[in-house]
Structure 1
Amino acid sequence: MPKSRAKGVALNPLHEAAMRLAGLGLSRSKEKTRDLVAMLLSHGARAWRHSQPEAHIHLHIGIRSGRAPVRLKLR
């Protein structure tokens, strides 16, 4: 039988939120640290996105035979 997952590892965001609500007050300092790291990462990502050049896309698309004639992938 495989070993169980490490404590605090969530399978999805809803599970993680439920585990946080269940564990309020037990190990709050650990979660405060995690929240601080997440906030700093999100602010860094936002600053990086803001520093990227602005992009404009203008498309005129005519639908033929029920299929979209253009596939667009943005990164």
Structure 2
Amino acid sequence: MPAGRSRRENSRFRGEAEVLAIRLRALRGDRGLTQEQLAGRARVAVSTLRKIESGRVIEPGYFTMLALANALGVDLREFA
């Protein structure tokens, strides 16, 4: 691991990643979409979506989240 990078478990954003995971799953579920369907609409890898929804990605990329928000028809603030 590069110097200066903290482990996922020790990240100060761990709580926010968990909230994001819950909110993303809820929004996807509300729209009746599978992970595969949402990933396809957002043009992101299904594995990336799974990692975000499971909380394994602590700091997802801005453009990934923007694509997911657009595919869900929500503003980025909906993930907060």
TM-score (norm. length: structure 1): 0.30
The structure whose residues are more often helix, as a share, is: 2
Higher relative contact order (Cα pairs below 8 Å, separated by 6+ residues): 2
Q: For the pair shown, which has the larger CA radius of gyration, 1 or 2?
A: 1
